[in-house]
Chain A
Amino acid sequence: MKEGVSDTYWKANIRLVLVLLAVWFVVSFLLGIVFVDYLNEYRFFGYKLGFWFSTQGAIYVFVILVFVYSGCMNSLDKKFGLEED
C-alpha cells in the first residue's frame, strides 16, 4: 500500500518539475538567447525586449519558479500524507 502511494507521489512530483523546467528553459534559453535578436525588435520601456529577458526577465521568472515549486511540493506532501512533523 505504502509502495503505491509513494509511486503516485513521485509521478506527480516529476510532472510538476517538468512543467517548471519547461518554463525555465523557455525564458532563458529561448527568449534570452535563441530568439534574442528577434525580440530586440520590440521595446519594453527603455529596454529592447530580448535584452530585458536575458538581463532581468529570466531572473524574475526563476525566482517565481522556485517559490511555486516549494508551495506545490508542500501541498503534494500534505495531499499524500507524506509531510514531516
Chain B
Amino acid sequence: MSAQELTYVFVGATFLLYLGIAFLSKSSSTKEFYIAGGHVNPIANGAATAADWMSAASFLSMAGIIAFEGADGARYLMGWTGGYVLLALLFAPYLRKFGKFTVPDFVGDRYYSQTARLVAVVCVIFISFTYVAGQMRGVGIVFSRFLEVEINTGVVIGMAIVFFYSVLGGMKGITYTQVAQYCVLIFAYLVPAIFISIIMTGNPLPMFGLGSAVEGGSGTYLLDKLDGLTAELGMKAFTQSNKTVVDMFFITAALMAGTAGLPHVIVRFFTVPRVRDARISAAYALVFIALLYTTAPAVAAFARINIIETIDNVSYSQLPQWFKRWENAGLIAWMDKNHDGVVQYRGGNALVPNKPMYSQERGLSGERLLLNERSTDENELYIDRDIIVLAHPEVAQLPNWVVALVAAGGLAAALSTAAGLLLVISAAISHDLLKKTLMPGISESRELFFARLAAGVAVLVAGLFGIYPPGFVAEVVAFAFGLAAATFFPVIFLGIFYKKMNKEAAISGMLTGLIFTFGYIIYFKFVNPSANNLSHWWFGISPEGIGALGMVFNFIVALTVSRYSPAPPLEIQTLVDNIRVPNINR
C-alpha cells in the first residue's frame, strides 16, 4: 500500500480507538467531568499527563528547532523536563491534598478573594487559548500533507473528534483517551528514530546512537561528523551555542517555572486518589516524557545530516519526491541564485523576508518561483522547521508504514493536548466563573450542562483559530510560559510554603509579574520590533526569557507587601497546615 493509503488506515484506526474509549468512559457528575472522579491509577495518570503535556510543539516542532539551532535547543529539553521536577516536588502533592477542581479554585480559596480567583480565571483562559491554537495548526499540517485534504477540512475533522470525547466524556473520557494517545505518540516517535539510529550508527537506542561512531568503519563520531559538515557549509557548528549564558539561563528558568505553572498540567494531579499517588504519578509522567525528550536531539542530528547529504549539491531534477511534495505544501523553497540548477545549502537565511512567498509560476528547473528578495548569503534553501519530524522517515527512505505511523503520532500529540486545554477552559468558565462567582446556587446537573456547553464553545473557538490562525500565534505560545512563570508560579509556591502569604501580596505580586512581562514582550515584539536584539534587552534577557525576571519581581513585591499587611485569617492558616500533611484534616 502507498504511504497515503496506510496513513488513512492508521489515522482512521486510532480515531476509532479514541472514540471507543470515550464512549465507554462517559462522565455523569461534575466530579467525573472535572477530575475523572478522583480515582485514576497513578501510572495511567502519568501516561495521560505525558500526552497532555507533549503537544504538537514537542512532537512536531522541537526536534526541528534543535536540528537547526543545535545546542541552543537544549533550553527546551531542560526547561520542559526540569519544570516537572518543580511540579513534582513543590506543587503536585499539596494541590492533590487541597483536593478541589481547578487552579483558580486554589488561588480563590487560599487567598480568600474573588478578585484573585478572577485574575486566575483570565490567566488560565488566555494561556490555554494561545496554546490550543498551536495544536489546531499542527492538526492542519498533518492532514494537509499526508491525507492531501484542505487544511480547513483537517481542522474540522480534528474538532469533531475532540468535541465528541471532551464534551461527552469530560476529564474521565480525556484521561483514558490520553493514555491511548500516549502509546500511539511514543511508538510513532521511537520507531523511526530507532530505525534511523540503526542505519546511521548501528546502535538501536537513539540516545546512545547520538554519541556513537557513524557506520562504515571510519570511526568518526556522529556529532563530530555533523559539526564538520555544518562548518564546511558555513553554518554554526551543531554542538556550539549561539545564545549568551545569561539569556540561556533566564529562558530555561522561565520554561521550567512556566511548565510547573501550566493549569492543564497541574489539574491532572487532582485526578489521583491519594497524595502518595500524586508523587509517584509525577515521577511516572517524567519518565514517559523523558523517553521522547532524550530521543529528540538524536532525531534532530540524524535529520540534519540526512538532509544535508541528500539535498546539498544535487540538481533540482534529481531531488527526491519528498522535497517536491513539501515544496508544493509551501514548507520548502529553493531560489536558484546562481542559475546552475543545483541546490546550494549554506549558512544564513536564503530569503528576505525569511518566509517564502510563492508566485504562480515555475522556474527553469521546475521549482516554484518566489516573490521574496534574495539575501546576501549564498544559501539557496528555505526549510520550515516544523516538517523535520514528519519528513525524516521519508528522507531516510524508511518503509511506508513508518511514514504513516508518524502522521498518526503527530495527530495523537496535538489532539491529546487540545482536549486537556479545552477541559481546563470549560472548567474555568462553568466552575470558577458561573458556580463560584456569578450563579452560586446552581444545581450540579445545571453546572454539568454548562461545563459541556463551555467545552463545546471552546472547541469551536479553537477550530476558528486553526482555520484563521492569527499571525502572532507562534510568538505568543512561547510567552504563555513566561506569563505562567511570572503569575501562577510564585502565587502557588508561596501559597503552600509561606503561611503568612495574604491576598494583598498575592494580587499585587501577580499584577506586577503580569504587567512587567506583558509590557516587555509587547514592547519588543509589537511596538518596537527593530530594537529586539541583545544591545537593547535588559541585562541581555530576550523576551522569551523575561518571564523569569517577572517571576523574581513578583516574589519581591509579594514578600514585601505581606510584611506590611495583616496576616491571613486563622482558617486560611489552618488550610495551609492541612495541605502540608497527607492525612490530617483539622
Contacts and interface: CB of A to CB of B under 8 A. Distances in A.
Bind each other: yes
Nearest to A67: B283
A58 B253 CA distance: 14
B85 A29 contact: no
B71 A54 contact: yes
B77 A82 contact: no
B290 A47 contact: no
A66 B88 contact: yes
Given A32-B78, A47-B210, A82 B584 contact: yes
A52 B286 contact: no
A29 B249 contact: yes
Contacts of A13: 580
A21 to B, nearest CB: 7
A45 B89 contact: no
Interface in A29-74: 29, 32-34, 36-37, 40, 44-48, 51-52, 54-56, 58-60, 62-63, 65-67, 69-70, 73-74
A77 B276 contact: yes
B287 interface: yes
B93 A44 contact: no
Contact of B252 (A33, A66, A85): A33
Interface residues of B, number: 52
A83 B583 CA distance: 6
Contacts of B233: none
A28 B252 contact: yes
A1 B256 CA distance: 39
B581 A46 contact: no
A32 B74 CA distance: 8
A47 B223 contact: yes
B273 to A, nearest CB: 9
Contact of A84 (B88, B249, B276): B276
A69 B93 CA distance: 11
B71 A74 contact: no
A36 B74 CA distance: 11
A44 B221 CA distance: 11
B248 A33 contact: yes
The B contact surface, by secondary structure, is helix
Contacts of B221: 45-46
Contacts of B239: 40, 48, 51
B212 interface: yes
Interface string A1-31: 0100010011001100100110010001100
Interface size class of A (residues with CB under 8 A): 35 or more
A43 B279 CA distance: 35
Contact of B77 (A6, A46, A54, A85): A54
A17 B581 contact: no
A46 B211 contact: yes
A80 to B, nearest CB: 9
Contact of B210 (A34, A46, A82): A46
Which of A21, A44, A54, A77 is most buried by chain B, counting CB atoms within 10 A of its CB?
Answer: A54
A62 B207 CA distance: 16
Contacts of B241: 36-37
Nearest to B241: A36
A57 to B, nearest CB: 10
A25 to B, nearest CB: 9
B90 interface: yes
A24 B73 CA distance: 19
B533 interface: no
Interface in B279-335: 279-280, 282-283, 286-287, 290, 293-294, 297
Contact of B211 (A21, A47, A63): A47
Across the A-B interface, give the 6 residue pairs with the lowest CB-CB distance, nearest first: A46-B221, A54-B74, A45-B211, A66-B283, A46-B211, A70-B279
14 contacts: A13-B580, A29-B252, A44-B211, A46-B212, A46-B224, A47-B211, A51-B74, A54-B78, A58-B81, A60-B294, A63-B287, A65-B89, A73-B276, A84-B274
Interface of B: 66, 71, 73-74, 77-78, 81-82, 84-85, 88-90, 93, 207-208, 210-213, 221-224, 239, 241, 245, 248-249, 252-253, 256, 274-276, 279-280, 282-283, 286-287, 290, 293-294, 297, 497, 577, 580-584
Given A46-B223, A74-B276, 6 more contacts: A10-B581, A14-B497, A32-B78, A46-B221, A51-B71, A84-B276
